[in-house]
Structure 1
Amino acid sequence: MALKILIVEDERPIAKALQLKLTSSGYEATVAADGMQAISELEKNKFDLILLDLIMPNLDGFGFLDAIKGKPNLPPIIVSSNLSQQEDIDKAKSKGAVGYYVKSNTPLSAIIQQINQYLPHETRQ
């Protein structure tokens, strides 16, 4: 069974590119356009990892991290953002993110490598 990744990204072309790359890499990928949709997805489905944008309408990435803090069985969260200041990286990690990459500087292949670090290898197909 494919591992499930939730992509929380409001920029449709980026979300679609991530979804296609993850699917072709053997993952099941679901897209949520903002933090509110992501919370709804988490209530309905179990995910093995979350890729989280920070700047989004309705509920941004930092708000999403605050909203889910303390919930049981949360998957690892990797932040995907164009915010490249160290203070943003530190803030995201202090709120529970395990990884962080700058979208404009990171090729899809490097994103997949980072995802693989946080997923159980024995269940990946």
Structure 2
Amino acid sequence: MTVQQKRILIIEDERPMAKALELKLGHEGFEALAVFNGKEGIEELKNQKYDIVLCDLVMPIADGFYFLKNMKAEGFDIPVTILTNLSQDEDNKKAIELGAKDVFVKSNTPISEIVDYVKNALK
């Protein structure tokens, strides 16, 4: 499977961040789609196959914890990486316990580093 065929779901309520990730990943040859809360993320997984999910934790309507719990309940087995502004170990630990593979603090992580992480994760 080539990089052009890899699909990335971005779940991020901060629209500028969501759009920046979507554009940067698109420029790298990925097919990326942004939705804006965990409920929309679950619905998108029901409609399309994705290879990896980038998910914020704090969002209105349905947060990242909602997404992680419901993704598991729905039987999806897709790697999820959390992108959050929370640097609290308790929240990060909870996300990992719910199935997230990694956690990045957005304010400490350049988008280029997130893109490199996605490239390596999907090799």
Shorter chain as denominator, the TM-score bin is over 0.9
Question: Which one is further off, 36-45 or 65-74?
Answer: 65-74
Query: How far apart are residue 60 of structure 1 and its match?
Result: 0.3
Query: How far apart are residue 116 of structure 1 and its match?
Result: 2.1
Query: How far apart are residue 68 of structure 1 and its match?
Result: 1.3
Matched, 1:49 2:49: no
Q: Which has the higher contact order (CA 8 A, sep 6+)?
A: 1
Query: How far apart are residue 58 of structure 1 and its match?
Result: 0.7
What is the match of residue 30 of structure 1? 33
What's the CA shift string for 1:61-102, capped at 9, x where partnerless? Answer: 001111111444521000000001111111110000001100
TM-score between the two structures when normalised by the length of structure 1: 0.91
- Matched to 1:58, the amino acid is I
TM-score between the two structures when normalised by the length of structure 2: 0.92
Distance 1:47 1:113 in 2: 18
Distance 1:76 1:92 in 2: 12
What is the match of residue 72 of structure 2? 69
Distance 2:88 2:101 in 1: 17
What is the match of residue 114 of structure 2? 111
Distance 2:96 2:78 in 1: 14
Distance 2:31 2:49 in 1: 12
Structure 1 segments (4+ residues) deviating >4 Å = none
What is the match of residue 2 of structure 1? 5
What's the CA shift string for 1:3-31, capped at 9, x where partnerless? Answer: 00000001110000000110001100011
Distance 2:116 2:88 in 1: 22
Distance 1:84 1:27 in 2: 28
Distance 2:120 2:95 in 1: 18
Structure 1: gaps spanning 5 or more residues: none
RMSD over equivalenced CA pairs, Å: 1.2
Matched, 1:40 2:31: no
What is the match of residue 58 of structure 1? 61
Distance 2:93 2:117 in 1: 18
Structure 2: gaps spanning 5 or more residues: none
